[in-house]
Structure 1
Amino acid sequence: MLEEKKFFIHEDWVVVILAALIIALAVGGLILPVPEFNWSNASELFQTVLEPRNLGIIALQFTFVFIIAAIGALLNKRPLKGYLISFPIVYLITIAALILAGNSQVKAINLEAVIFSLGLGLIISNFFKLPEWLKSALSTEMFVKIGLVLLGTGIIFADILKAGSLGLIQALIVVITVWYFAYWLCKKLKIDDELTMMISSAVSICGVSAAIATSGAIKGDSKKLSYVISMVLITAIPMMIFMPLIAKYLGLSQEVTGAWLGGSIDTTGAVVASGSLVGEEALKISTIVKFSQNVLLGLAAFAISVFWTYTKHPNSKDPDSKPTIGVIWDRFPKFVLGFIAASLLFSFILDPATVSSVKSSLKNLQGLWFALAFTSIGLETNFADLFSKQSKKPFYAFLLAQTFNVVVTLAVALLLFN
């Protein structure tokens, strides 16, 4: 009797299906209202954020993402019982992080919500012993990949091309140059292959998103990914504060400064904050350059997956054999196709009125999925893993590569935008 073949969908395809469902519902008219998290004092906190109507919107949002994630758990063959208990916990921690990030003093220095999500998760996981069933039920990769696909809805090619091709030219030069330098440096310091790939991509392309996409392309270890993400977030804050001051000291124009900031700082929120400190033109250019790097994310993930497949030699019996197309396709991060498809859909197919009507809701959901993922990363991570002796070399490599990135990006910005 023949054994019945079990139905299986790869997690990356599950992510594409779920993100497509979210987008289809939004375009079809199911536009979720965006909760209010902005407050400046205790009175505003209770009258705006914690008032019944806003709490109702937060509850509605919870119901929506809870159902989407439940479908994902079923398609991924994950234990549903653990998910039903763990997801509300992760959501409540994430909402607490969003409320903290909504404070006016915090927003003044543009600290992103994901920093608070990661921080709260780390505090809880390191001061309390979490049950294994809770950790095993976390769906970090699924959350973050859904966020990445939704990120594609905000990458509008027409906006970038309208503002000029110089940002794309800078992005190409910087990404290629910095990626190879970081890769060479990590190899010199004998850092393992997975961390080498994640660090190289995070420094050269677009920080957190690039590290996550690379981890998906090489099937990387989640602890190593959380370490790289922590380095990106930690270094983004001082760069955000001091680079505008350095630009002013050097007498750089707003155009050059914006190109420098957008190409060097790894998180979008920090880019916006630093650009705002300089001026309107610097903010505009820095945002365009950062978006230009985001556009390259899909192409970079594809190239990395092919490179990784060829250098890893999957056929252990014959190390010199070339990987087949099937092996390359198997290792390719399928969610990148969702990212590209979403960007093409919103750039060239949907009419501007539709894009405008769903933009705010989808951006809110994108941020929420990212925040849920960072909360999960924090709950999975131990400080001892982040700051062990084995972590010193990767940290030094990241700092040196980031310094190289700052210098090269300034040189290219001066060449193209001066």
Structure 2
Amino acid sequence: MINNKQVLSEDWTVVFLGFLLIITALLGILIPTPSFAWESQIDLVEKVFSSNNLLKLAQVFAFTYVIAIFAARLLGKSIKATAQGFPIVFVLTSFALILAGNAFLKNWNIEAVIFSLTIGLLLSNFFTLPGWVTESLSTELFVKIGLILLGTSVIFGDILKAGSLGLIQALVVVVSVWYFAFWVSKKLGVDEEFAIMISSAVSICGVSAAIATAGAIKGDSKKLSYVISVVLITAIPMIIFLPFIANALGLSQAVTGAWLGGTIDTTGAVIASGTMVGEEALKISTIVKFSQNVLLGFAAFAISIYWTVTNNQSATAKEAKPTVSVIWERFPKFVLGFIAASLLFSFVVSSETIDTVKGGFKSLQGLWFALAFTSIGLETKFSDLFSKEGKKPLYAFLIAQLFNVFVTLAVAYVLFN
């Protein structure tokens, strides 16, 4: 199939399209936010499948469809394949979002990306997909657009609101756990790319950190799927058992909240677990988790620099050190877009405007991530996802998470007792 001439690199395309979405919303053209939440069959029919909600979903589809085709044009990919394949990916992803919107599943913090990945895997492993479907998949593009939108929610002012204790704990835990996880991964023979993703997921904020790190180092999507699957699976028992352990140890709500916020890898799981303990625990766990979340941009930037330099040196071992121009050429530009979006919403956009657009951005960000994981599933075999890399990454993750549990408990006890 004949493709167009590439106009922009993928990273610059992502920055351009991400800010096109942001500017569109700031100009008052708000993106509809369809509801996927339901508890009973009646809710499913009257809320999710209501004519008004389906109209919103159709509007979101039209919006993302145009972006996907525009991206194909800029990247020199087949517009015909994208025009045919994207609607299928969107429908499958919408089905995943509806499944994840069930109240029972939300209580267990089973996120939409797991359903997206599972649906894609089932189709790719049990059916033969047409070539135009696989040709239309743009996993990295979808992930990176979602990350640009994620930058709009990282507000620097919130770091100060989080409080000094929460920020101190976040810094201590993130740095110590990241380096320990990386060290353990390397000791177990896990490759560096996998090790960096595992370290970020355990130490910072789970799914978002794994996705951001994979984007920063241009990581293998199969390894990213592996890490996220482990993050979400281990979060479930932690939601249930950590509050009971805290109660058995006689910890105060403040210490318990700080422990939960620094240990559990996803924000939704932290909120669910904190709610089981009490109001004060919920408040402090949210503050600590958010303090870790706001470090994501700094971490992605630092990891990008590290990977750009070391990856270049390994590729050209004869060179003493890469030049500035080489570093710039290899540096993932979407990270700059993420930081620019954060700075824009931290210091330029008014709080009133942020309140108006943040719901739409959060919904759209989640949609792009889900589209990416549907795409990953559609191009992945079960053997690639779970068997190829063996059990070493799983062992590395679990050991690092156990270290995280003890270190965070100690720091939380010192700071919040």
Q: Which deviations, in whole Å up to 9, do the C-alpha atoms of 1:296-349 show, x marking residues without a partner? A: 222212222222233334475653511111222223222121221222222221
The change in CA–CA distance for 1:21 and 1:309 in structure 2 (over 3 A counts) is closer
**Cα distance in structure 2, aligned partners of 1:250 and 1:165:** 26
2-side partners of 1:98 and 1:390: how far apart? 29
Residues 57-206 of structure 1 mapped to structure 2, 5 A cutoff: 57-206=56-205
CA spacing shift, 1:21–1:211, aligned 2, 3 Å: same
Partner of 2:340: 341
2:226 is the counterpart of 1:227: yes
> Which residue in 2 is equivalent to 1:364?
363
SS at match of 2:34: coil
Give the residue type in structure 1 aligned to 2:45: F
Q: Residues 176-223 of structure 1: CA distance to partner in whole angstroms, max 9, x if unpaired?
A: 111111111111111112111211222112222222222222222222
One-letter code aligned to 2:39:
S
Q: What letter corresponds to residue 30 of structure 1 in structure 2?
A: I
What residue number does 2:284 align with? 285
Asked whether the equivalents of residues 116 and 377 of structure 2 are also in contact (C-alpha less than 8 Å), the reply is yes
Is the Cα contact below 8 Å between 2:216 and 2:335 reproduced in 1?
A: no
Question: Which amino acid in 2 is paired with 1:416?
Answer: L
Find the aligned partners of 1:68 and 1:389 in 2 and give their Cα distance.
Answer: 34
Q: How does 1:402-417 map to 2 (within 5 A)?
A: 402-417=401-416
Q: Which residue of 2 aligns with 1:45?
A: 44
Aligned to 2:11: 12
Determine if contact 2:84/2:132 at 8 Å carries over to the other structure.
no
**Any unmatched runs of 5+ in structure 2?**
none
Cα distance in structure 1, aligned partners of 2:93 and 2:6? 33
Mapped to 2, the partners of 1:300 and 1:283 lie a distance apart of 26
| Aligned-partner Cα distance in 2 for 1:68–1:315 | 36
Q: State the alpha-carbon separation in 2 of the partners of residues 44 and 213 from structure 1.
A: 35
2-structure distance, mates of 1:110, 1:7 = 40
Q: Which moved more, 1:392-401 or 1:375-384?
A: 375-384
Contact 1:156 1:346 in 2 (8 A): yes
Aligned to 2:267: 268
Find the aligned partners of 1:238 and 1:187 in 2 and give their Cα distance: 27
Q: Distance in 2 between matches of 1:54 and 1:317?
A: 54
The alpha-carbon deviation at position 104 of structure 1 amounts to 2.1
The runs of 4+ residues in structure 1 deviating greater than 4 Å are: 315-318
- Structure 1 residues 374 and 389, CA gap change in structure 2 (3 angstroms): closer
Matches within 5 A, 1:234-313: 234-313=233-312
The 3 A distance-change label for structure 1 pair 124 and 248 is farther
AA of the residue aligned to 2:205: C
| TM-score, normalising length: structure 2 | 0.94
Shift of 1:8: 4.0
Provide the rounded CA distance (Å) in 1 between the counterparts of 2:369 and 2:146.
Answer: 5
Structure 2 distance, partners of 1:318, 1:404, is 35
Cα RMSD (Å) of the superposition? 1.9
Amino acid across the alignment from 1:331: R
Q: More deviation in 171-180 or 228-237?
A: 228-237
Identify which range, 88-97 or 294-303, moves more after superposition: 294-303
Q: Where do 5+ consecutive residues of structure 1 fail to align?
A: 1-5
**Residues 46-83 of structure 1, C-alpha deviations (whole Å, 9 max, x = no match):** 12211211111110111011111221121111111111
Distance 1:300 1:159 in 2: 17
Alpha carbons 1:16, 1:149 under 8 Å: kept: yes
- Note closer, same or farther for the CA distance 1:136–1:40 as it changes in structure 2 (3 Å cut): same
How far, CA to CA, are the matches of 1:310 and 1:16 in structure 2? 22
How much does 1:250 deviate? 1.6
